[in-house]
Amino acid sequence: MQEKYITVNGNKIRYIEEGDSENTIILLHGLGGIAERWLPVVPFLSKKYRVIALDLIGYGQSDKPQIDYTPEFFRDSVLGFLETLSLQKTVMVGTSLGGEIVAECAATQNPVIRKIVMVAPAGIMKSHTPVLDAYTMAALYPNHESVKIAYQMMMGENKEIRPQSVENFISSMTRPNSKMVFLSTLLGMKNSPVITEKLKLIKVPTLLIWGKEDKMIPIEYSKGFVSSISSCDFVVMNGCGHTPYEEKPDEFSKIVLDFLSR
């Protein structure tokens, strides 16, 4: 796996890359995440695709400019990333905040984007949940106990939490300006209009995946996405919380690859 950096609109973006296929998948993490959140599925996806997982602008080792971190800012940053890499076609996969960004990008009807996959995306839910509150506290006061509690709530009881995920989160959230970015992102998501109208502009084939036991963004919010997107397959992953790509990476990857093969 290669670690690379690229400059987009004057800001450095870090990404990791695996696979040498002509077909590309872009992976976008969620709020407070980094590229490594996708590591459990990279071995499966990279057998057939060139997989690129990035640290969204403001997160991980990417630059953290002093701006408002709105969904529109993330959208423009990601579209600039695709343009700078000179991609001719790609599939975009995003989870939570990353799912909302994928929807924002697809709604522009950019011809480079051929299919999209969203995993429990943000954009419709505007209220807080106890899990989101615990996760926010872990981001503002990152230590092993607070992060493990938040991750356990996201995934569900008796789920194995990868120690490296906890370490990565703590390392990321203790970088300069990381907490500012996190809070700005939360405010940007809360104050932006519900994404329903933009979903109607999405014309590419879409796959929506949701963990049945998701308590971060409950599955009831899936209805707004399914009813608004003209071509939307919907798969519920039983026994999964908010992170099915980490909880059942082999099953998750099979669902995604089956969708992309059609």
pLDDT for res 108:
98
Produce one character per residue of 204-231: b if its CB has 16 or more CB atoms within 10 Å, e if not: bbbbbbbbebbbbbbeebbebbeebbee
pLDDT for res 158:
83
**34 within 8 A of 59, measured Cβ to Cβ:** yes
Q: Average per-residue pLDDT in the chain?
A: 97
List the chain residues with pLDDT less than 50. Answer: none
Residue-range domains of the chain with CATH: 2-260 (3.40.50.1820)
Summarised one tens digit per residue, pLDDT across range 50-98 is 999 999 999 999 999 999 999 999 999 999 999 999 999 999 999 999 9
pLDDT for res 229:
98
Summarised one tens digit per residue, pLDDT across range 13-39 is 999 999 999 999 999 999 999 999 999
Q: How far apart are CA 246 and CA 237, in angstroms?
A: 12
pLDDT for res 250:
97
Dihedral of the alpha carbons of 154, 230, 206, 152, in degrees to the nearest 10? 0
The H or E element spanning position 210 is strand 206-211
pTM over 0.85: yes
